[in-house]
Structure 1
């Protein structure tokens, strides 16, 4: 075996055919090069010249004179092949020493446990041999964390399995309220369209609304512009919107049909005034008529106050050959009754199915499954689509220059 620097094509050929995270692509490599001029595509080739391991490492300045390396959701390899693991990481250390590395972080895309959406473990993976090997190679596990951090990737992901499932089956496996909300968005005429890069402000305005509602701040608008540029061809900025004039027309058509049915029932009651069945039906139709009239009036009022077309919710998605990732979103709280978020998710689930992608990744949750969790509402939303939760192996750090590292920790500069 040989430890080598890979070309972007070699790197992509491997990661596209071996299960890997979207960050482990040459698209991210070129983005890192453009931002900082520092990124490394490293790997191992067997004796026949075939790539058997690959990893993208970013590089950043540490303590002015040194460097910090990070492989985001990498390296990508068969971690059951302990000989390969040892070969890669031993040679990586030699490479890092030559590049004046202070310390390195990796967080392999390896599942530790699979949980129900309520937190119960339904499957576990025995990673003890791998962990022991990494420990012997100097990589210290950083523990299993709960909550969110800006230091590394979220170790808890909410995932929907799409493999060998029809749209009908996927809907059937969702909870009743989620199915009902999706159906309502279809009845109301909520539509989805892809935003161009020039329309990023439209997306970001909705993101800011969500941030204000939940009192947090994630990324600035420029971040999403860079993301679109970096992952061009594999990224989608999606917008859920509704044309209220069209919706009002649907309601008026529905009202006409209800009034026709109501008149038919009244005619039957004239023939048989004591029909309990027809009386019940008349009462139900009367309620539906009044409800529809109210919605028509409310819709007209909203047209007059907010305009004909409303932007409900928007989200950014990235995909590779293995997964569709729902990364970030925003919505206008005033328009929650139109349930744009449900329309977005269902449309993108179908889109992933059409691409032949087997996993729909709702992305991060906190790992706190109590009702007091900071993201409890978000967890319940994802749970409604029948998503399970995967807990990943976590971060490992190896210090290449221990003495300098200790000084950096003591002075609070690391």
Structure 2
């Protein structure tokens, strides 16, 4: 085996064929290398010249005079092969020393456990040998964290398994209310379209509404443009919207149909005034007509106050060969009745199925499964789609210059 630089094509071919995170991509590398000159592709090849490990690394300034390196949910390798783990990380240290590295952060995309939506463990993975090997090589595990952090990628993900399933099976495995909400979006004429990068402000307006509603601040508008630039065709902004004029036409057509049916029932009742069946049918149709008329009136009022086209919800998605990732979203709470978020999810789940992608990743949850969790509502929304929980191993830090790393930590404590 030998440690080596990799070309973009070599790297992409390997990660396409080995389970990996979207950040481990040639698109990511090429953008960073071109615009910031801060990205590297390294790996290990065996004696047959086959790649057996690969990693995209980026660097940033740290403590003024040094560099910090990050592996972006990498490296991509078989972590059960302890000899390979030892070889890669020993050689990584030598590589990093050439770039005045202060420390490196590693967060392998490997599972610690799989759980149901309530947090109960379904499968536990045995990473003890790998963790012991990393510890002996100087990598300190940062703990089994919960919650959100600005310093680390989320450790807990909500994932829908699509492997071997068709759309009907996926839909049937969702809970009743989720299925019903998706069906209602069709009845109300909710549609989904792509947003161009120039339309990012339209997405961000809805995203900012979510920030205000939930009391958090995540990223500015420029970040979402940056993500589209980095991941190119593998990134997509989607908008769920409704054309109320179209919806009103549908409601009026239904009104005409119900009125016609009621006339027929009335005629039948004139011939058979005591028919219990016709009386029940008349009552049911009358209730449906009343409900439909209310919707007509509400829709007319909404058109008068808000216009005929409503932007309901928008989301940023990124995908690779292994997963579709639902990264960030927002919606207008005033239009919750149209359930745009449900339609967005269903359209992208169908996209994954059509492209033979086995996983739909709803992305992060806190790992707190109590009904007091800050993301309890978000968890329940994702649970409705039949998503399970995946707990990942977390972060490891290795100081490459231990003396200066400890000084920097001490300095940070005094600064704070």
Name the TM tier (shorter chain): over 0.9
1:24 aligns with 2:24: yes
2:159 matches 1:159? yes
SS of 1:233's equivalent? helix
Rounded Cα–Cα distance in structure 1 between residues aligned with 2:192 and 2:74: 34
Shift of 1:35: 4.7
What pairs with 1:221-260 in structure 2 (closer than 5 Å)? 221-260=221-260
Q: Where do 1:4-403 residues align within 5 Å?
A: 4-403=4-403
Q: CA RMSD in A?
A: 1.2
Residue 81 of structure 1 and its aligned partner are, at CA, apart by 0.9
Whole-angstrom CA distance in 1 between matches of 2:322 and 2:253: 44
Structure 2 unaligned blocks of 5 or more: none
2: CA distance, partners of 1:251 / 1:199? 31
CA distance in structure 2 between the aligned counterparts of 1:272 and 1:135, rounded to whole angstroms: 86
Measure, in 2, the Cα distance between the counterparts of 1:315 and 1:213.
16
Q: Give the C-alpha shift of residue 34 in structure 1.
A: 4.2
Structure 1: runs of 5+ lacking an equivalent: none
Q: Deviation per CA, 1:145-186: give whole Å up to 9, x if none.
A: 110001111110000011111111111000000000000001
Q: CA deviation at 1:248?
A: 0.3
CA distance in 1, matches of 2:130, 2:107: 13
- Structure 1 pair 199/10, CA: closer, same or farther in 2 (3 Å)? same
The alpha carbon displacement at 1:40 in A equals 1.3
Separation (CA, whole Å) in 1 of partners of 2:97 and 2:302: 64
Which residue is equivalent to 1:404? 404
Cα distance in 2, alignment partners of residues 31 and 370 from structure 1: 41
> 3-state SS of the aligned residue for 2:147?
coil
Q: SS of 1:72's equivalent?
A: coil
SS at match of 1:408: helix
Indicate the SS of the match to 1:412: helix
The DSSP-based 3-state class of the residue aligned with 2:233 is coil
Counterpart CA distance in 1 for 2:267 and 2:131 is 77
CA drift of 1:189 comes to: 1.1
Q: Displaced runs of 4+ in structure 1, greater than 3 A? A: none
Once residues 119 and 284 of structure 1 are traced to their aligned partners in structure 2, the CA distance between those partners, rounded to angstroms, is 43
SS at match of 1:231: helix
TM-score (norm 2): 0.97
- State which drifts further: 183-192 or 401-410: 401-410
Give, in whole Å, the separation in 2 of the partners of 1:209 and 1:192: 19
Deviation at 1:400, TM superposition (A): 1.2
Tell me the alpha carbon deviations over residues 172-218 of structure 1, each in whole angstroms, 9 at most, x when there is no partner. 00000000000000111111111111111111111111111111111
Q: TM-score, normalised by structure 1?
A: 0.98
Determine the C-alpha separation between the residues in 1 that align with 2:176 and 2:99: 56
Q: For residue 54 of structure 1, report the CA deviation from its aligned partner.
A: 0.4
Question: SS state of the match for residue 47, structure 2?
Answer: coil
TM-superposition CA deviations, 1:82-129 (whole Å, max 9, x none): 111100001111111221111111110101111111111111111111
Give the number of equivalent residue pairs: 414
The farther-off stretch of 387-396 and 252-261 is 252-261
